[in-house]
């Protein structure tokens, strides 16, 4: 896998550089009878896709069998993420508060306390998810801290269960 970083003030130059695999004809072979570009190109809008298809047509390439070409909002489908509705901020806060109350046996067991911590726990869980930290690793990190006082141990146990 390689990464190329190209900067330019000219949007056409950037499109041509990003689309180089789409505007050069690949030769078919027995192993690859329908050659397509060997990378996924994600563009920010459909008009750029139209421009790229026009560049390819000008180069004598009429199309691809299965072009690895998409627009940013199509990336989840390309990467195998199912179409799931996302929760809004309010919905997420309500669900998270309910989870904290349900699993809380220490700090978050009290209705009045769980709501006060929702924003902080939401931020914490968001950071953990974005960094790929599994629930198991998070729990191990929480239990591997012997210098905690009773409140901290109770809070950490509730967070691990959540």
Span 43-93, pLDDT tens digits: 888 788 888 888 888 888 766 656 788 888 888 887 877 766 778 888 888
Contact present, 56 and 23 (Cβ < 8 Å) = yes
**DSSP state for residue 3 in the 8-state scheme:** -
User: pTM of the prediction?
Assistant: 0.48
Query: Given the structure tokens 């904290």, which residue do they identify?
Result: 100
């Amino acid at each position: 896998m390689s990464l190329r970083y190209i900067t330019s003030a000219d949007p056409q130059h950037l499109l041509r550089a990003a689309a180089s695999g789409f505007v050069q004809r690949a030769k078919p072979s027995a192993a690859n009878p329908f050659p397509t570009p060997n990378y996924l190109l994600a563009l920010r809008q459909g008009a750029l896709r139209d421009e790229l298809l026009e560049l390819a047509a000008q180069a004598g390439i009429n199309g691809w069998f299965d072009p690895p070409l998409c627009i940013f909002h199509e990336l989840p489908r390309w990467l195998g993420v199912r179409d799931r509705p996302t929760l809004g901020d309010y919905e997420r806060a309500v669900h998270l508060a309910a989870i904290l109350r349900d699993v809380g046996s220490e700090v978050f067991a009290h209705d009045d306390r769980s709501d006060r911590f929702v924003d902080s726990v939401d931020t914490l869980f968001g950071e953990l998810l974005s960094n790929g930290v599994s629930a198991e690793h998070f729990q191990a990190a929480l239990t591997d801290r012997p210098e905690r006082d009773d409140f901290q141990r109770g809070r950490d146990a509730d967070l691990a269960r959540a």
